[in-house]
Structure formats: structure tokens, C-alpha cells
Amino acid sequence: MIDTTVDVINKLGLHARASGKLIEVTSRYRSNIQLGKGKELIDAKNIMSLLMLGAGKGTTLRLIIEGPDEQKACDEILALFAARFYEAE
């Protein structure tokens, strides 16, 4: 199990387009992937749950991944956040 944090650094936060890109990544993996603030964790494969988080720029999110491909999933998710969801800033 991987339990880490990730900072939202893109200008618009985890808005619809960024959430869609995150779903593209998380849905490729068999592992259970959860994201949230503090103890409020949601399924990171569910677009509505991601949008309801309201994670704006500067938010630190908890990322929990458990499953057979957890390390690959974690690496790709962290890279997506670090790349600011490939949005022009």
C-alpha cells in the first residue's frame, strides 16, 4: 500500500478538464486509488467525486493506492500533478 501526499499546483486546480485527465490515468490501473483531504477520501476513478473535492491550487491531497500495479499508478499520477495536467500556465 502506498500512502502519500500530492500538491495541486496547476492554476485552476482539480477542475473538470484536469479531473478528466486524472480519470484517464487512474482508470488504466487495477489498483484501488483514493484521493482526498484529511480523512475525506474518494474514489479517484469517479469523476463526480473528484469534482466534489473542490481541490483548488495550493491544496495538499492525500493519495492512497493499493493493488498489484500500485507503484506504476503512483508514479504516473504524481507525474501528472507535477506536469500541471499539461495545461498552459
Residues forming the active site: 15
Q: How many CB atoms lie within 10 A of CB 86?
A: 10
The amino acid sitting at 26 is: T
Buried b (16+ CB within 10 A) or exposed e, 26-60: beebebbbbbbeeeebbebbeeebbbebebeeeee
